[in-house]
Amino acid sequence: MSVIQSQEFVEIDPLNTVPTYGFSKGFPIVQFEISSQNKFLVGSSIRVNADVSIKATPAGGTATQLVNNGRTTGNSGAGRPLFNASFNNRVASASVIHQITISNQEQKTLETIRNYPMFLAGTLPTTHSSADFDCGLSQQTGNSSRALTGACGLNETTSVSIPLRCGLFNGNDMIPLSVNGTRGISIQLELAPDANAIGSVAGASPTTRTAGSVSYELSNVSLSYTLLVPNAEVQAQMGTPSTGSMSYNGVNHIYSVMNSSDQVLSLNLGSQKVLSVHSTVLPTTHINNSLVDSLKTDYLRNKSSSTATDYDEIVDVQEVSFSRGGMNFPLEQPIIERDIQTSVRPQTEILSNFINSIKSFKNMTASMCSLNTNFNLNTHINQPFSRGIARNKNTLPDQDAPVYGFGVKSAELDVGVDYSRQAYGLRVKSGLNGISPNSVFTYVLSQNTLNYSPNGVVIVN
């Protein structure tokens, strides 16, 4: 006899229902609650559904209206002033979620992910191809493989269905909601500041946006998910308080800054079972800056001089090493790179370990990490093939949008490594000149344990 007898497809409204959510609207928090019940939650089925709009007021104007990111007036933004403002094309509408906090109805925190858009900026392009962005992901959150395509798609209000890609929901497809489990789930979404969620996109309009206000709005917000209903015997067991435990993955975020040519970041991960750690970097002045892309996974960059207005130089990375308690671990030797930028070659070992920290390298089937995206190499073919068939040249420019970072998988067998008493270290030798601080966003994937008993729930990291 099957344990699962049926499925239920559920859609609920936020606890704090308002017509329009948004950071500048005065409603930056969205809360949902899934009650305790003798059923299983399918974690990967959870979606935040909403209508998303980007509104703009051009410099000197008074009317707030939908943006027009088109190159000409012959698109869906015809009649509106050209205004270069868009979500990052790889993170798309999920850019509006700054922080996810998942707890149970006893207010025990199960997982918290801060700077969630930057987490997606590193993980999504590492594990998805351009076809994935333009097909499957575009139907969920409005993603696209090229920035201009994504920008033009935001000229109108867009309906989206955003997955929550956190450790708990993506590692478990049968989460018990009963007293012998999580005892219900509460989800709190903290929305991002407008200037951090929305940025300028190169080539999105004939003139660069230099002034004017811009903001996003969420309306018709709901949460949908699937429940698995077990048979009467299992429901009776789930409803009778007992003692047990369940394991689940969790993602934590740590912020730091890198500025010197030989820098060691020593981070207290505070977890007994760390599975992997990865970091992405961004010029510090690009954070919460609507005139640039605040979610770009770029290389380390320098200001060429103290008077330079932006980070205009890519920095050479000569050596990267990882440590635990001051000893090289799990790689026994540092990764050494030579003359990378001058020879236009990929930093193979750095990138392969970065990819492996997000998804097992041997199981990789798709990625946006390529010579085209990382080095802006021209892949167009303008001459006939041997069979006389000419390839149509893409009229859009090659996408210079690197997928870059530092990362390492702690244990190949996914058993987890204890960092609760010993610090994780990342050492980078590079060409940083000391006047160009680069922000480092580090994400730690670890295994947590939820222990339940008639007395309550205890979380062990």
Question: What residue has token string 């006899």?
Answer: 1
> What's the pLDDT at 330?
94
Cα separations in angstroms, 364 against 123, 128, 295: 12, 9, 23
DSSP H or E stretch at residue 129: none
First-to-last alpha carbon distance for the chain, in angstroms, is 36
Helix ranges (DSSP H) in 79-204: 116-127, 130-134, 136-141, 147-152, 167-171, 194-197
Which residues have C-beta within 8 Å of that of residue 187, sequence separation ≥ 6?
Answer: 31, 32, 33, 34, 46, 100, 101, 102, 164, 223
Helix, strand, or coil here: 349? helix
**pLDDT the model gives residue 163:** 96
Contact 347, 400 (CB under 8 A): no
Going by their DSSP bridges, the two strands 20-21 and 97-103 should be labelled as unpaired
List all residues 6 or more positions away from 395 whose beta carbon is below 8 Å from its beta carbon.
Answer: none
> What is d(CA 3, CA 238) in angstroms, rounded to the nearest whole number?
12
Residue 435 DSSP one-character state: S
- Look at residue 337 in the predicted model and tell me its pLDDT: 80
Residue 60 has a CB neighbour count (10 Å cut-off) of: 8
Q: Is 85 exposed, middle or buried (0-12, 13-18, 19+ CB in 10 A)?
A: buried
* Dihedral Cα 235, 236, 237, 242, nearest 10 deg: 120
Which residues of the chain are under the pLDDT cut of 50? 1, 204-207, 343-344, 378-395, 398
3-class state of residue 49 by DSSP: strand
| Predicted pLDDT of residue 402 | 87
pLDDT for 456: 86
* SS3 of the chain: helix, strand, coil, percent, to 5: 15, 35, 45
Query: Given this model, what pLDDT does residue 391 score?
Result: 41
pLDDT at residue 64, as a whole number:
80
Whole-angstrom Cα distance, residue 302 to residue 282? Answer: 11
Helix, strand or coil for residue 244?
strand
Spatial neighbors of 185 by CB under 8 A, at least 6 apart, are 33, 34, 41, 102, 103, 104, 105, 110, 175, 177
- Rounded to two decimals, the pTM is 0.91
